Amino acid sequence: MTKERGVALVQLIWIIASVFVIAAAALYAFTQFHSYTIKFPTPYQAVLLSNGSVYFGKLQGYGGRDPVLTEVYYIVTQTNPETKQTNNVLVKRGKELHEPDRMYLNPRLIVFVEPVGPNSKVAQLIAQAK
């Protein structure tokens, strides 16, 4: 009878361990496939990518698997060859040969995201560009 109790106890332990493993796998799958998004308080965000590129635009789906940046702008530094002075210019994406209207971002390559202040120079330049 004691041997039977020991076998039953081992079986119970295996059942409990199996339930925990299944629950952990289900939780992992849920967190991988359930996308959550972060809402930003401003219309535009600055997105720094791991390659050092910075883009400005309306970011949707941040925190999820498929973030998308629309109304995309970036800064180009121009140097006057005569005076050697540099000037930063905000450029809207879409003028390129393939005329992109959005950027689908790899979430693993996003270093950080910051809101663009409504009174910032970038916000003013975007308003002027529209």
Instruction: Give domain status of residue 2, yes or no.
Output: yes
pLDDT band at 1 (very low <50, low <70, confident <90, very high): low
Residue-number span of the structural domain to which 2 is assigned: 1-34
25 and 53 share one domain: no
Prediction pTM value = 0.69
Going from the C-alpha of 46 to that of each of 16, 67, 96, the distances in angstroms are 48, 13, 21
pLDDT in tens, 69-92: 999 999 998 998 998 899 888 999
75 and 99 share one domain: yes
Angle in degrees, CA 86, 87, 91, rounded to 5:
135
58 and 119 share one domain: yes
29 and 54 share one domain: no
10 and 71 share one domain: no
